[in-house]
Amino acid sequence: MSRSLTFRKSFLTLGVALPLMSGAALAQTPPATPAAPATSPAAVPAVDPAKVIARVNGVDITEGDLAIASEDPALQMPNVPEEQKRELLTGYMIDLKLGAKAAEAAKVGSGAEFARKLAYNRDKTLLDEYLDQESKKAVTPEAARKLYDETVKSVPAEQEVRARHILVENEDEAKKIAARVKGGEDFAKVAGEVSKDPGSKTDGGDLGFFTKDRMVEPFAEAAFKLDPGQISDPVKSQFGWHVIKVEEKRTKPAPSFEETKDQVETYLARKAQQDLIMGLRKNAKIERLDDKGNLVEQKQP
């Protein structure tokens, strides 16, 4: 298992699932650096949530109403331009006010089922807001850096090799190629001429850095036994016959704080939320009933 992946998996405790990113992608794909603006952008003015943006039969729709609608998961429009999104949300709010007023007139909200739905949604909104507030308290720059530093220290060092290879179809051909490159011919040049691996041939057989688990076993075993500058005898794998040259060996670097910052913060937020819920359960009297109304024996969490 690669060190980057191990590092990220070490955040997976207490059932808090975090997204995992490929260690190879982090190692080989540097983040894009945006061009600096010619001038500093003007500060975005604060929006007054009480500002009225529309009226429906005398009922105000405000910027605050629009902001709440924009957070509704069912109304997410990630590929829609902001101006168009605002227009669509405003139209939705107009329809919502009209529909809600008509539903009231039809006494839709007078039944017991509606009351239960209303109570459920109120409880859910209260809990969501509470969890959000508490998680924000937990996600501080200091807490994020501390968790990152502690995790880096706990991850065992892992070796990486940077190697080139030449892939051919049979052993006789591989022996001839091994004799050529061991005799002094340029390995990269020979790889470009004869290698059957289209992914590395144009790069002189260069495979970049990899950990032992990233390659098939016969290839990995041979590559990690070589010292930098050494060339292997022919090695057979499921893909054919390889001649391998090791260029470098190193201890794989841990991903930087900036690379993992979002995942660290997500972990801190979710852990804070989970700890809060578990604490509430611990201090509560919780009773479950079976279909006959009898108490069910409670299992310890």
Residue 36 has pLDDT above 70, yes or no: no
CB atoms within 10 A of CB 265: 18
Q: Is the domain covering 159-251 a CATH 3.10.50.40 domain? A: yes
The pLDDT value given to residue 40: 43
Tens-place pLDDT, residues 195-221: 999 999 999 999 999 999 999 999 999
Amino acid at 205: G
The overall longest dimension of the chain from CA atoms, in Å, is: 93
- Residue 263 clears pLDDT 50, i.e. is over it: yes
Give the pLDDT band (50/70/90) at residue 44: low
Is residue 76 predicted with pLDDT exceeding 90?
A: yes
User: Given this model, what pLDDT does residue 253 score?
Assistant: 86
Q: What are 136-178's pLDDT values in tens digits? A: 999 999 999 999 999 988 888 889 999 999 999 999 999 999 9
SS (H, E, C) the chain: CCHHHHHHHCCCCCCCCCCCCCHHHHHHCCCCCCCCCCCCCCCCCCCCCCCEEEEECCEEEEHHHHHHHHCCHHHCCCCCCHHHHHHHHHHHHHHHHHHHHHHHHCCHHHCHHHHHHHHHHHHHHHHHHHHHHHHHHHCCHHHHHHHHHHHHHHCCCCEEEEEEEEEECCHHHHHHHHHHHHCCCCHHHHHHHHCCCCCCHHHCCEEEEECHHHCCHHHHHHHHHCCCCCECCCEEECCEEEEEEEEEEEECCCCCHHHHHHHHHHHHHHHHHHHHHHHHHHCCCCCCECCCCCECCCCCC
Residue 231 to residue 244: CA distance in whole angstroms: 6
Residue pointed to by tokens 């190692």: 27
Residue with tokens 């091994």: 178
CB-based contact 160:209 (threshold 8 Å): yes
Residue position matching structure tokens 């079976």 = 290
Instruction: Give the rounded distance of the alpha carbon of 231 from its chain centre.
Output: 38
How does pLDDT run across 94-150, given as a tens digit for each residue?
Answer: 999 999 999 999 999 998 999 999 999 999 999 999 999 999 999 999 999 999 999
Burial code (b: 16+ CB inside 10 Å, e: under 16) for 174-195 equals beebbebbeeeeebbebbbebb
Asked whether the predicted pLDDT for residue 63 surpasses 60, the reply is yes
Partners of 242 in the β-ladder: 167, 235
Query: Mean pLDDT across the stretch 283-293?
Result: 90
Where on the phi/psi map is residue 13: left (φ > 0), alpha (ψ -120 to 50), or beta?
beta
Orientation of helix 257-282 relative to helix 141-154, angle to 10°: 100
Q: What are the backbone angles phi and psi of residue 219, rounded to the nearest 5°? A: -65, -50
Query: Residues 6 or more apart from 7 whose CB is under 8 A from it?
Result: 151, 152, 155, 254, 255, 260
Asked if 84 and 117 count as a contact pair (C-beta separation under 8 A), the reply is no
**pLDDT value, residue 299:** 67
Kindly indicate the confidence band of residue 185, based on its pLDDT and cuts at 50, 70 and 90: very high
Give domain limits for the chain.
48-108, 112-155+255-300, 159-251
Q: Note the pLDDT of residue 296.
A: 86
Whether the predicted pLDDT of 25 surpasses 80: no
Q: Is residue 230 a contact partner of residue 205, using CB atoms and an 8 Å limit? A: no
Instruction: Using a pLDDT cut of 70, give the percent of the chain over it.
Output: 84
